Structure 1
């Protein structure tokens, strides 16, 4: 396919897969259960953080965290006690993300929300930046704090050449405003033009089959390579092609 044909193909597939039916099998359904901005952010960030492996298992594990928080994430974050966190400290949440990690996240959320109305404040993009790479790192340093903890591994660093797939997916959920019913688009001060494709096995494999990528590994440099290509199709909403690439990969249509 030439450039024009490939763009038309990806636009068509993005349109097909970017619809509310997508929600029922995807972790994005977790933040969709809430209306309060802070509830959406906390539920979304936690669901995105554990988004590796089988999607049904991810959703089940995210529901486990919601149950712990009484299905009121923001209230739980602000008003929990140390004993509340100790109850599940030794329990499993999702694979290597355990109760200790969850408790650490809750504690960090409390400090963040004591100082900020929204997580959006921690992801603001500077004028001289073209994507979220630097703002993710700034968020990571603020959220994790200076004291080393086992949980640090669950928040990827683009400065260490990570694809940061889970955070980039969370940013897509919070930032994109296309009124199609999948992405929530609750953040008002960050432009969706800075978004990248959340790079996983599906988006990576389909991108290579379509000739969008040459690099064989899914890392930070590959995200940058895909950024340059995908912005040629649409520099105002590049992340919409995540639906095309992921959908083609999951459906095995291509």
Structure 2
């Protein structure tokens, strides 16, 4: 999706932006969700399903692959809520005004809507145009690559794909999102190698990539090293 804003809401701290897309994605704003804490995400999923009167089935810690499943369930909920709020927005003149007021004056979308609404006064036609042209902002996610603790079932070590960061990556990969994974806090070769297990990180027959990779680095050297490693994969 083409970016319509000149800024995005980055990941902040370890959980300050975990709810951000629920509040802003319907306005077309991209944001980044920290997904390392599956316990928090499960609590938030319970809270928001209750708030919006949606069904909730708890994913307990004892459930198989609970960490990845919790992350997937939360991200899917966030996407559904954002899309519902966008649909509601197209039915409210005040919310529509707010949506376009937030766009920069150089926005092509803003200009197109101005031209369209100046010629068309039928509310049904305007709403149809909005549904066809407005999209939620990207719901990107972040994991700290070094937070990749090995996990155990009783006293038996689980395979590496059940490590914390690996499970978080799988949770995102299995979600309905079409957005980006932001890797931060350094390079984790085993985690990077795990990416190729998921088709969504590769182009489809039309060349579209559902899930992309963003490297959050502090200097050019880090970007070069990590970029080369990923390119080889």
Asked if TM exceeds 0.5, the reply is no
Bigger helix fraction: 1
Greater strand proportion: 2
Structure 1 length normalisation: TM-score? 0.24
For the pair shown, the structure with the greater C-alpha radius of gyration is 2
TM-score (norm 2): 0.26
